[in-house]
Copies of this chain bind each other. A is one copy, B any other.
């Protein structure tokens, strides 16, 4: 599919789909006329990228961990460098921290909302 359809199906602006390509997150084929040609699986792929971006990961990191989240995973096992592993562990920890922060603060918000509702009841 071309960029317009992918954009519509994912809700991600064309501009950003091109940006993600520039950042190496997606590598669509090209039609003879130069148009980008996206594989069906890019729908999920883009959603995942958005999820990771929304989760606060920069494209630089997403580019690194994205291949690892793919299946079949065994393919990528062989060429994993120690730096790569270190990056992954670091990011895993950062993600854990983020989850922690988010959870705590979201719960606080929930509590507050509950309290407000209680009061006006």
Contacts and interface: CB of A to CB of B under 8 A. Distances in A.
Nearest to A108: B69
Interface of A: 48, 51-52, 54-56, 65, 68-69, 73-74, 77, 80, 85, 88-89, 91-92, 95-99, 101-106, 108-110, 112-113, 115-116, 119
Given A52-B101, A55-B105, A77-B119, A112 B96 contact: no
Stoichiometry, as copies per complex, reads: 2
19 contacts: A48-B105, A51-B101, A52-B101, A54-B56, A55-B98, A55-B102, A55-B105, A56-B98, A68-B112, A69-B105, A69-B112, A73-B112, A77-B119, A88-B109, A89-B113, A91-B109, A92-B113, A95-B109, A96-B106
